[in-house]
Amino acid sequence: MYLYWGWNSGHFTKLNIRFKGPDYDFTLKKSIAKDRQTKFTTKYFNPAHITIPQYNFTVGYYIREN
């Protein structure tokens, strides 16, 4: 049996986003995305806050050793 617990963090690069339609065609150049991760505090260890979206939680069981 195994258990995994962790949290996510995202890192992004600058990019161009093009919007094109019947009456429009424009590009947002050098757009920046940022991860709005909750600051790491003791809140992460409180089971009442388990629904914070940055959590990863996996439980598994190996039926055979191989």
Where helices occur in the chain by DSSP H, the ranges are none
pLDDT of residue 16 exceeding 70, the answer is yes
pLDDT tens sequence across 17-50? 999 999 999 999 999 887 766 677 777 677 777 6
Rounded CA gap, 52 and 43, in Å?
10
The confidence band for 3, taking pLDDT boundaries of 50, 70 and 90, is confident
Q: What is the pTM of this model?
A: 0.39
Rounded CA gap, 22 and 20, in Å?
7
Distance of CA 51 to CAs 7, 31, 43, 60, 66, Å? 11, 30, 11, 20, 34
The confidence band for 53, taking pLDDT boundaries of 50, 70 and 90, is low
